[in-house]
Amino acid sequence: MFLFRRSRPRVSVDQARSRTSGDTPDAILLDVREKPEWNAGHAPGAVHVPLSKLVAGAGLPTEATGRPLVVICRSGHRSQQAAKLLTERGAQAVDVKGGMNAWAAAGHPVLDERGNHGQIA
């Protein structure tokens, strides 16, 4: 029954940025969009692993292993799936409400694959 389904923890884009940036971030920002989306624009310092690879059994990159994860995608749907999958695998993971669309709308930086101003695709 839907009334009893527990929702997973979610964070705002401001909380995500606060937790994953600065000199001593307490979490890794994990972007689970596909490569063309990542190349067009992603958050500085984010780590990239497409959801499709996670679903296929791929592990996390070294810099994300054993760290709390803040998972982001374009709108928040894939990141919810990824956070659930990663939590089931034993990771501490939350997803970002609104994804990169909300990140960019909040005025947070977005870089393309060359480090220039990017866009959300």
Active site residues: 73
- Separation of CA 90 from chain center: 17
